[in-house]
Amino acid sequence: MGDVHLIAHDQNKCITPKDGETQREKFFTVLGFDYSDNIISGLLENSKINNNYSSSITDYQLPVTTEQCLFLQHSSFVNCSRLNIASRSKFGIHTYRGTIDDEELMELIVGKQEAVEGV
């Protein structure tokens, strides 16, 4: 829990590639695993909030700083507006970028996610 990986995503994962690309790399924060050993509750981190999104998405963007997450190159937002599920096979030492060690930040991320999911 809290490990962060840089994973390539495409439009099937609701990521819009830029400049003619077919994929786009995004950070994925691991929050747990399901019974099939898939990574669950992964949250994509964005450098900016898209102002075209509705408040049901923008209200669930949690700011994180480079001080909280040393692997970030700039302060960002964690998108807590929906769950993401990915095969564990996509994750490995080659995708690992760091860990969110800040317990309070992880509690905020999990709390926002639970609020969205109604847990």
Instruction: Tell me the mean pLDDT in the region 108-119.
Output: 75
Residue 7 has a pLDDT of 84
Model confidence over 11-54: pLDDT tens digits? 565 555 567 666 778 888 888 888 888 887 677 777 888 888 88
Residue 96's pLDDT is: 95
pLDDT at res. 97: 93
DSSP letters of 51-98?
A: TTS-HHHHTTEEEE-TTT-TT-SS-EEEE-SS--EE-GGG-STTTEEE
CATH architecture of 3-117: Roll (2.30)
**Entry pTM:** 0.79
